[in-house]
Amino acid sequence: MKKFRKVLDGLTTSSPGGTMGSPSCGSAAGTPTAAPTPKEIDVQETLVSENFQLCKTVRHGFPYQPTALAFDPVQKILAIGSRSGGVRILGRPGVDCYCQHESGAAVLQLQFLVNEGALVTACADDTLHLWNLRQRRPAVLHSLKFNRERITFCHLPFQSKWLYVGTERGNTHIVNIESFILSGYVIMWNKAIELSTKTHPGPVVHLSDSPKDEGKLLIGFESGTIVQWDLRVKKADFRIYYDEAIHSVGWHHEGKQFMCSHSDGSLTMWNLRNTTKPFQVTFPHGKIQKDGRKESCKPILKVEYKTCRNSEPFIIFSGGLSYDKAGRRPTLTIMHGKAITVLEMDYPIVEFMALCETPYNNEVQEPYAVVVLLEKDLIVVDLTQSNFPVFENPYPMDIHESPVTCTAYFAECPPDIIPILYSIGAKHKKTGYSQKEWPIAGGTWTLGSHTYPEIIITGHADGSIKFWDASAITLQMLYKLKTSKAFEKPKQGEGRAAELVEEDPFAVQMVSWCPQSRIFCVVGISAHIILYRFSKYDANTQIVSLEVRLQCESEDVISPSENENNPCFTESGSHSPQPHQQHPPSPGSRTPEGIKDSIPCLKVKDRMVRVPPGYQAELVIQLLWVDGEPPQQITSLDVNSAYGLLAFGNCNGLAVVDYMQKTILLCVSTLDLYGAADPYQRLTRSPRRNRQSTSGLTELSDNQQSIDMERSKSPTSVHYPTSLHNDPRVLPEPVASLRASHCSPVFYLLDNDHVNGHCTSPTSQPCSAGKPRVPMGPEGPRLTRRGPGRPPFRKAQSAACMEISLPVSHTEESRENSFSRSRSSSVSSIDRDTKEAITTLQFGESYGRKTDAVPTPCLWVGTSLGVVLLIPMSIPTDQEDRMEEPVTIGPSGAVLMLKGSVLRFSFLDCMGALLQSPYEVWRDPNAPEDPDRPRKRKLVHFSPSSSQDTCGDGHLAVVCSERQAKVFLMPSQSCLFVHNITESSFVLRADVVSVSNSVCLACFCANGHVMTLSLPSLRPLMDINYLPLTDMRIARTFCFTNGGQALYLSSPTEIQRITYSQEMCDNLQEMLGELFTPIETPEAQNRGFLKGFFGGNANTFDREELFGEAAAGKASRSLAQHIPGQGGMEGMKVAASGVVGDLARARIALDERGQRLGELEERTALMMTSAETFSKHAHELMLKCKDKKWYQF
């Protein structure tokens, strides 16, 4: 065995550079190839490293785990902070910006510098940051890190440059926004409360300046203490001690009264004339019980008190419901006069904010909307209508409506596909929204010149599919498809369906879409495939169902040490492996009738159904249960509209379906695909299987009754029923081929994002054969159903995080079995297991054998052991013959070898141009027929021989695996170039994409590296460590597309798009929206003579005089540390490129000059006063001593 391994290692290893004529690639017989001639590889490559640069472009979706909310009432932009340190800034549709704090600390609070183009963020690491929003990509100008105190609340008065910061110790500090330096003015907690108070008032939970007088600061402490602090005289005007804890405070605009919300569900109204007790206490949701006591209520977390000119004020608050009503959803209550409206929310309320007409807090507020930030949604309520409708959200905030389980990205789509999908999807939009325009309408955005049609497809846990228009870095939903409508609803208590209702049986695993033919295929978690055709007309149709028995016989793989070499992972990892012959049967499996056999996981609707325009299900393919074991999940899929064929595989084998004739052409184990060309030495196989014929792929017979023709030909002499494989007893043994193994090398959906801190290979797990080796008591069937063969989709989880490996056992033996091949060569696990998964499939025009003179339709098959198989096919070309004559599948042709699991195939002509797979031009299947012009199939072929005038026949095949990439010349099968992509990690995703009018191979590795290789020479062009800590969700959803773009699910609710093209990076500034637009600040209303006379001296308050260094001195250096931001100079450079920049720069210079002049004037005045005092004292002393004698001194 060691000798055999050395031979294989010699065949599969290669030099890193990929030299011509490398003897490392084997042909079908496993012998080294001869060096190709220079003529064969004379391709002028145009891509160089300078064509590539990696950067983020835009993030779509709802901010994950939001924590804070802010709104600029003049600029009309909204900011949302998150627990991971992210900040999303939203304006009009198209204005959507994402910023990230480097520390990753949660955002506690956000404060806009209203109409100044700046934002202050307070984070959980007790750091304040000032963001410059006057550039398309905001950057931090200043940071201030508090060392000894924790930040709990911030308040920035309108048109003020002094920020009040409350802390956990109860102190209030003041920060200069321009210099981001602490003032020496501090309101200490022990000065704010009375000396006689024996207890600490708690953290500061509220700060606000009085609308009547800006020199009065209202401080709310958590314990229920409220203090109004006179900033001028540095003492408290009044103190309120209330029994209940305070959560928030809201002022009346006249500044004579304010409202507080408390932890007992009450609202208290206080008048400044009498602060000994509240003049009004209400429990909005607390009813009086029979014994006369009030119901206990939940805390009111926030209240807003907003006045109106022509009606009663609005009192808006969250929480406050009574405790006895269990199960009630979170609510927002709007009290307007005597009317009380309770709005129930789908998710808990994080924060809400009333949007008002004026930015001044001493004017009538006139609220027109309420922004409600929920844990998983953003809602804006229209306050101008009595029924309080919500606005239709223009942002794609519902990506996570059901957890995302897979993604696909298509650039340069046919231009007509987006309008068609939008017109059909628009018919199913919800109604009842407010008729007014979306109120968050700030910023500017224009459609850039570098745009082309792009579509993103997301698959979800509930079986739904969403098509999104992703053109011009925006995202808008076009069309939603529900795959569950093809099946009957699972009913509780009915056998196998009862086990499915707790899961997501329709969850989408992968999708395959051909934009040209509009053929769409969906692979589901229940081992099912649905094929859809697109139609602009509704229709009455019956879905055809095919059932495939793609399982492994229990005797198929036998090893003397099966217990040791093939451990079966259970869901918890705690069950010890047992021989499958000895497990105790479940009560239901003792009789043949009690074992699930030859039944699919789901029941297809078997009646005529009315389907609306759009994608209409035509065919459902399902894998069957065998002897009580569930079918293995499907790991690969490809569909070709020109051939009318669909191929799929899993860790048991491969199946090919003719979806035009609705027949199964091939259903065979991976091992039987090789025939005599098997490159591996397999374990001993059972005598029963050895006696069976395995020549179905290597010999063809004209006898319709032969087993070989049953497997390679679609019979057309008889009408096939809708379910071809209903009864396995009438089928030949090879067709009902392989039985289920218990472990599947597919992606899982689990709650955690990491496995042992690193990402494991998605296809490196060997599949253990035989029955599940878990003890089967009363929970036996449940364990089998929900074990690694059928991972659960949990609806209660906050995110569908993607997992790429089996649950890891803590024993060395199981770890070695699960990860062995992902850390060594592709042959390291040959002696452990013979199961081999089909990892990728590709139809195309190619050469199945070395001797082929012309290209023919072929199916390229890649396996988890690094083997590439070519299966030639014969497909009738005439349209009538195509529906009548059978498609024949020839024996396996070439066998090529690579390190690691095969991930991707692609084909180039000899000039290096990308060869697309042939396709059928779309035609509406339900369109009315014209008798004069019968409809015909229009096929588009990209044959390799069509562009070979200068190079002769042949084409290049690019094959990429987890470890390396190779370029083969067909039909000679000689390896022209080879490149070892990674030794320490493995490739998760690889695609051949077009960039800058050329093509390259783009790879994403498990260690977070994104790299590109030239084609066909496989020269490294870019290698960037983009995501050092790759989690499973990113690994599952990462995908490349043409134009140098890619995307992945950065959180359970957000899609992050990136580009690796230098050209797009250069044009990105043009494509992004402007957050800041020059707008004049609205003027304050005239207060009138009487109000100005009796309203105090609010307008004469000068904060600079109180808080400046001259008056207050400097703060302690150990209290806070100033950190200059990296975006300061960058922001100035960007701002200097326009009129706004000039004005901003001039304003900053004037402010600085004015500040210096003011300081100089203050110092001069201080010196003059000091001089006058000295002169006075000297004169008094002179007069006193004038008449005294010398001896009197």
- Structural contact between residues 921 and 938, judged by C-beta atoms closer than 8 angstroms: yes
Place of tokens 């550079």: 17
8 Å CB contact between 546 and 531: no
Residue 1113, sorted as left (phi over 0), alpha (psi -120 to 50) or beta, turns out to be left
At 54 the pLDDT is 94
d(CA 409, CA 511): 11
Residues 6 or more apart from 180 whose CB is under 8 A from it?
128, 130, 141, 142, 143, 144, 1122
Handedness of CA 358, 362, 363, 366 (dihedral sign): positive
Q: How far apart are CA 624 and CA 601, in angstroms?
A: 7
Residue 582 has a pLDDT of 30
Two tokens at 225?
A: 């203490």
Element (H, E) at 229: strand 225-230
Contacts of 362 (CB under 8 A, 6+ apart): 211, 212, 253, 254, 255, 1098
Question: Which portions of the chain are predicted below pLDDT 70?
Answer: 1-41, 292, 325-326, 448-450, 492-502, 552-595, 676-677, 681-834, 931-935, 943-952, 1029-1030, 1086-1100, 1110, 1127-1155, 1187-1193
Residue 906's closest CA among 1007, 986, 1013?
Answer: 1013
The order of strands in the sheet holding 998-1005 is: 987-995, 998-1005, 1009-1014, 1020-1025
SS3 content of the chain, % helix, strand, coil (to 5): 15, 35, 50
pLDDT at 906: 95
Q: What is the pLDDT of residues 234-249, one digit of tens each?
A: 999 999 999 999 999 9
What is the C-alpha to C-alpha distance for residues 1148 and 1142, in angstroms, rounded to an integer?
Answer: 10
CA distance 72 to 977: 58
Angstrom CA distances, 634 to 529, 651, 746, stand at 9, 8, 8
Q: Is the peptide bond before 396 cis (omega within 30 degrees of 0)?
A: no
Q: What interhelical angle do 1127-1135 and 1139-1185 show, nearest 10? A: 120
Mind spelling out the 3-state secondary structure of 1112-1138?
HCECCCCCEEEEECCHHHHHHHHHCCC
- The burial of 196, by beta-carbon neighbours within 10 Å (0-12 exposed, 13-18 middle, 19 or more buried), is given as exposed
On whether the CB atoms of residues 401 and 460 are closer than 8 A, the answer is yes
Give the sign of the dihedral formed by CA 431, CA 433, CA 436, CA 441: negative
Radius of gyration of the chain, Cα coordinates, nearest whole angstrom: 36
Cis amide linkage into residue 766, ω under 30° from 0: no
Q: Rounded distance, CA 432 to CA 389, Å?
A: 7
Comparing CA positions, the residue from 1180, 1127, 503 lying closest to residue 796 is: 503
Dump pLDDT digits (tens) for 789-841: 333 333 333 333 333 333 333 333 333 333 333 333 333 334 344 578 999 99
DSSP-assigned states of every residue in 74-131:
TTTEEEEEETTSEEEEE-STT-EEEEE-TT-PPEEEEEEETTTTEEEEEETTSEEEEE
* Residue 908: partners with Cβ closer than 8 Å, 6 or more residues away: 914, 915, 955, 956, 958, 999, 1015, 1016
- Residue 867 bridge partners (DSSP): 897
Burial class (CB in 10 A: 0-12, 13-18, 19+), 686: middle
Tokens at 1066, concatenated: 């250069």
> Could you tell me which of 203, 305, 206 has the C-alpha nearest to residue 247?
206
Which helix (H) or strand (E) covers residue 1069, if one does?
Answer: helix 1062-1071
CA distance 260 to 305: 10
Q: Provide the CB-side half-sphere exposure for 880 (13 A, CA).
A: 1
**355's torsion region: left (phi>0), alpha (psi -120 to 50) or beta?**
beta
